[in-house]
């Protein structure tokens, strides 16, 4: 661990340990309900992943209302469909905040959709809970990142393949947008820092919805025939995963030959695949449905009853949504209001249960603590956990990128800065 990493995490950990929740005297608007927005694609290429998160928020709202709601009022979820159209995410976010008067929004999957809505949340001073793994290099006052940062998923996955599987050659395959490109930039720098030669790194990007994988998989197969153990690190997103994994099977690429570790394939995506040829391939997340805990069993049982379908799976972004929603509820209760500024103050340091048997704490950088799990695909579409770490603090700025390694984020007063340079002592990274 670098000194920068040690310093940053030690400081953040110390800050979290002594935090207390502050109350606000701001009165709640006299509405009949407390409205929250649900901003997930229900159509288009990302619907395969995002529709379940819409259902998850509705389930969590129903559960909270059964407990009496929040601040004595029922919670009402306002659902919109941005249809996998990135500019439409911003339009729908503005509609939720200005027209529907929601107090917080749970939504987005891709980083490009999140980047699209950021100016809206900043301008209108509302709160977004973002529940999906992302590339880091960001910490915004109005956003809480309840999915994994690269040090909570991508880097531990590479470490596992390097240390446990003896991988020496690396294919970084991703969908062509900000999350895969930035994550792979970090991973490339990390691999080179570990002594991997440039010729042992192959990088490939494809568009959303890409379906013709024959030549790309052939190139991967050829790249892996050089006599060194090869692995694919996949940041392929959405429904392009279906033909990608199918083509791996068509060309006889087995996990023991060229293992694939995916960051965007969970139980929901596997439900649409013939998993037979994929047995042994891997995914890195912070939660799997197969985790054997009382909290997880209770969540799955309640989820199945709510959607009236015991065949539906759970997945990591669902757990991240669960954590974000419960942290928001706890912060609103502590603040005594849904006012944005009061909730932003109250939520830092909030700790809520996760589904893997531990707890998640909201840190001053608006990221949370998460264990890292590596899971192996089983024939039934579930994952067997083969590696698990203790909880890790989300690192918003990478130690492996020149412009980021000296930056930290702390949204508590008086610093209130998302990119404070510890060398220059200035906010803004300067």
pLDDT digits (tens, 9 = 90+) for 196-212: 999 999 999 999 999 99
Quote the pTM value: 0.87
Geometric angle at alpha carbon 103, from 98 and 108, rounded to 5°: 80
Which CA distances in Å does 34 have to 24, 27, 149, 331, 348? 17, 13, 30, 14, 21
CA atoms of 290 and 299, how far apart (whole Å) = 12
30: pLDDT strictly greater than 60:
no
Residue 422, both tokens? 């510890």
CA atoms of 379 and 382, how far apart (whole Å) = 7
Backbone angles phi, psi at 6, to 5 degrees: -60, -45
Domain limits, the chain: 3-148+293-369
180: pLDDT strictly greater than 60:
yes
CA atoms of 167 and 228, how far apart (whole Å) = 7
Average pLDDT over residues 272-286: 88
CA atoms of 97 and 120, how far apart (whole Å) = 9
Geometric angle at alpha carbon 348, from 347 and 352, rounded to 5°: 65
Q: Count other Cβ atoms within 10 Å, centred on residue 266.
A: 24
What pairs with residue 35 in β-bridges?
76
Helical spans, DSSP H, in 203-339 = 214-223, 241-250, 267-270, 294-307, 316-335
Average pLDDT over residues 126-130: 98
**pLDDT band at 277, cuts 50/70/90?**
confident
Average pLDDT over residues 374-398: 95
Instruction: List the CATH code of the domain at 3-148+293-369.
Output: 3.40.50.2300
25: pLDDT strictly greater than 50:
no
**pLDDT band at 276, cuts 50/70/90?**
confident
Which CA distances in Å does 73 have to 25, 191, 337? 18, 51, 11
Average pLDDT over residues 122-149: 97
């Amino acid at each position: 661990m670098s000194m920068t990493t040690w310093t940053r995490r030690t400081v953040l950990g110390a800050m979290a340990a002594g935090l207390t929740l502050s109350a606000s005297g701001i009165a709640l608007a006299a509405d009949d309900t407390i409205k929250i927005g649900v901003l997930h694609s229900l159509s288009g290429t990302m619907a395969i992943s995002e529709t379940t998160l819409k259902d998850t928020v509705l389930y969590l709202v129903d559960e909270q209302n059964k407990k009496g709601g929040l601040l004595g009022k029922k919670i009402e979820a306002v659902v919109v469909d941005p249809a996998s159209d990135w500019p439409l995410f911003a339009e729908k976010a503005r509609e939720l905040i200005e027209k529907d008067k929601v107090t917080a929004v749970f939504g987005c999957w891709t980083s490009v959709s999140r980047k699209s809505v950021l100016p809206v949340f900043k301008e209108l001073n509302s709160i977004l809970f973002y529940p999906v793994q992302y590339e880091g290099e960001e910490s915004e006052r109005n956003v809480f990142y309840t999915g994994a940062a690269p040090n909570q998923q991508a880097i531990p996955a590479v470490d596992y393949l390097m240390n446990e599987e003896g991988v020496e050659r690396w294919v970084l395959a991703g969908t062509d947008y900000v999350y895969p490109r930035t994550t792979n930039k970090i991973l490339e720098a990390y691999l080179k820092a570990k002594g991997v030669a440039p010729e042992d790194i192959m990088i490939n990007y494809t568009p959303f919805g890409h379906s013709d994988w024959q030549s790309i998989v052939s190139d991967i197969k050829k790249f892996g025939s050089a006599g060194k153990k090869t692995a694919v690190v996949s940041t392929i997103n959405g429904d392009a995963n279906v033909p990608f994994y199918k083509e791996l099977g068509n060309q006889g690429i087995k996990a023991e030959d060229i293992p694939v570790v995916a960051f965007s394939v969970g139980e929901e995506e596997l439900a649409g695949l013939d998993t037979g040829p994929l047995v042994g391939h891997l995914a890195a997340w912070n939660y799997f449905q197969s985790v054997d805990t009382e909290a997880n069993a209770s969540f799955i049982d309640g989820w199945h009853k709510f959607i009236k379908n015991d065949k539906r799976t759970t997945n990591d972004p669902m757990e991240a949504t669960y954590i974000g929603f419960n942290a928001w509820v706890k912060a609103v209760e502590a603040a005594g209001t849904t006012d944005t500024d009061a909730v932003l103050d109250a939520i830092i340091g909030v700790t809520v249960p996760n589904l893997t048997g531990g707890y998640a704490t909201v840190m001053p950088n608006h990221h949370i603590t998460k264990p890292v799990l590596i899971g192996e695909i089983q024939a039934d579409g579930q994952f067997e956990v083969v590696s698990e770490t203790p909880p890790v603090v989300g690192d918003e700025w990478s130690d492996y990128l020149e412009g980021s390694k000296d930056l930290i984020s702390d949204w508590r007063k008086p610093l209130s800065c998302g990119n404070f340079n510890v060398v220059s002592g200035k906010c803004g990274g300067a």
